[in-house]
């Protein structure tokens, strides 16, 4: 078994798509941490967690004392902290990266606050690696009203956020999804990152569930990679499509989420439609997780890139009943360990 990369579990599935009318209640952070810490497969355990900086998990306005208590809570479970999600969206105190001056200022303010929390976590010793996760906080429909102009605005906002991140020694990873304007296809993500032009500070966060939908052209039909009415039993064409996608985005990728997807979209609560995260052993899952993770973790010549100090499981919008079963986390940990065994290092 390889030692690296570290294996993390995301805490935000306890919040994303939860709460609000018609949605299940949130799952508190302590419960998410307990389920993560209890998971074990053949002597392997999770090494750490990635956090969403939003109530009721971690307030974006946390004090040093709050962060010390958080670090103690995580540390006593023999876990560490990796990447942090900045709450850059309007409902969470942020604003559209292509919006008004005030909205864009709010976006950058949330990035600054996230970096301040990262600095406090680093000072406790609980965090030694990871990035700050962002996106455009805008819809494809709004973006489409002025594609060139809006991409230019997003890029400028990201550059302002990059200035802040650099002052803290942090990097920003923009997670492309079909629900984020200007980041809803492979082509649009590459265009945006090239316009930002700060590869040392602003990169891409790849999620296997979300990026699979890029190949199908959701919200960007002209940018689809797989043919229409694709036959999912055609593994050769699927692999070719995924390689085309990963070849384009891998050079920008600085943070990586292992996930499964059944090639459908799903929304829950206030979260707009996005890639349907499935359990790792879901028979409807379209990805060979271990093999296709290698498309991201290895370069075009098949060599392990060693670009990530950790990899993270993302299972957003799993039903609470599923998330309450220890079996769920053991199965997730098991497939994560297989990914590391296949594409890790010592």
Residue 23 pLDDT = 86
> What is the overall mean pLDDT for the chain?
95
Residue 270 pLDDT = 44
Residue 15 pLDDT = 93
Residue 268 pLDDT = 47
- 130 vs 115: CA distance, rounded Å: 11
pLDDT tens profile 215-237 = 999 889 999 999 999 999 999 99
Residue 95 pLDDT = 98
- The percent of residues above 90 in pLDDT, for the chain, comes to 91
DSSP 3-state assignment of 284?
coil
Mean pLDDT across the stretch 301-330?
Answer: 94
- 59 vs 61: CA distance, rounded Å: 5
- Tokens 């028979």: give the residue: 283
Instruction: With CA atoms as reference, report the closest residue to 134 among 100, 102, 170, 169.
Output: 170
pLDDT band at 70 (very low <50, low <70, confident <90, very high): very high
Which tokens is 250 given?
């891998």
pLDDT tens profile 36-53 = 999 999 999 999 999 999
Look at residue 75 and tell me whether its pLDDT is greater than 60: yes
pTM equals 0.95
Mean pLDDT across the stretch 299-321?
Answer: 93
Fill in the DSSP letter of residue 127. Answer: B
Neighbours of 174 (CB within 10 A): 27
- Tokens 């005030």: give the residue: 102
Residue 273 pLDDT = 62
Is pLDDT larger for residue 19 or for residue 297? 297
Mean pLDDT across the stretch 139-161?
Answer: 97
Query: According to DSSP H, which parts of 53-100 are helical?
Result: 64-75
Residue 181 pLDDT = 95
pLDDT band at 261 (very low <50, low <70, confident <90, very high): very high
Which tokens is 240 given?
């070719």
Query: According to DSSP H, which parts of the chain are helical?
Result: 29-38, 64-75, 101-124, 140-143, 147-167, 186-196, 208-214, 235-249, 289-297, 320-323, 326-343
Look at residue 307 and tell me whether its pLDDT is greater than 80: yes
- The percent of residues above 70 in pLDDT, for the chain, comes to 97
Residue 20 pLDDT = 81
Look at residue 199 and tell me whether its pLDDT is greater than 90: yes
Look at residue 267 and tell me whether its pLDDT is greater than 70: no
pLDDT tens profile 14-35 = 998 888 888 899 999 999 999 9
Residue 272 pLDDT = 54
pLDDT tens profile 151-182 = 999 999 999 999 999 999 999 999 999 999 99
| β partners of residue 266 | 274
């Amino acid at each position: 078994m390889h030692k690296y990369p570290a294996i993390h579990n995301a805490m935000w599935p306890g919040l994303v798509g939860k709460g609000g009318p018609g949605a299940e209640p949130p799952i508190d952070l302590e419960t998410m941490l307990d389920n993560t810490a209890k998971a074990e497969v053949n002597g392997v355990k999770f090494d750490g967690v990635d956090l969403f900086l939003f109530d009721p998990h971690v307030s974006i306005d946390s004090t040093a004392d709050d962060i010390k208590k958080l670090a103690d809570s995580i540390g006593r479970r023999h876990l560490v902290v990796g990447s942090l999600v900045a709450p850059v969206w309007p409902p969470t105190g942020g604003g559209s990266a292509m919006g008004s001056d005030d909205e864009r200022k709010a976006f950058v303010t949330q990035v600054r606050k996230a970096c301040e929390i990262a600095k406090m976590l680093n000072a406790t010793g609980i965090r030694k690696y990871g990035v700050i996760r962002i996106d455009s906080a805008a819809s494809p429909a709004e973006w489409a009203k002025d594609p060139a102009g809006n991409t230019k605005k997003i890029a400028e906002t990201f550059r302002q956020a990059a200035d802040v991140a650099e002052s803290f020694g942090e990097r920003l990873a923009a997670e492309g999804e079909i629900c984020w304007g200007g980041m809803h296809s492979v082509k649009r993500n590459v265009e945006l990152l090239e316009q930002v032009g700060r590869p040392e500070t602003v990169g891409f966060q790849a999620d296997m569930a979300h990026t699979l939908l890029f190949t199908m052209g959701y919200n960007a039909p002209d940018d689809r990679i797989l043919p229409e009415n694709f036959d999912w039993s055609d593994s050769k064409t699927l692999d070719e499509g995924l390689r085309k996608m990963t070849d384009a985005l891998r050079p920008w990728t600085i943070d990586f989420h292992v996930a499964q997807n059944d090639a459908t979209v799903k929304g829950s609560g206030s979260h707009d439609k996005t890639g349907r995260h499935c359990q790792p052993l879901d028979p409807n899952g379209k990805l060979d997780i271990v093999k296709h993770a290698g498309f991201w973790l290895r370069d075009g010549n098949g060599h392990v890139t060693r670009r990530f100090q950790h990899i993270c499981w993302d299972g957003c919008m799993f039903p609470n009943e599923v998330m309450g079963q220890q079996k769920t986390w053991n199965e997730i940990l098991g497939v994560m360990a297989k990914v590391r065994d296949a594409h890790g290092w010592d």
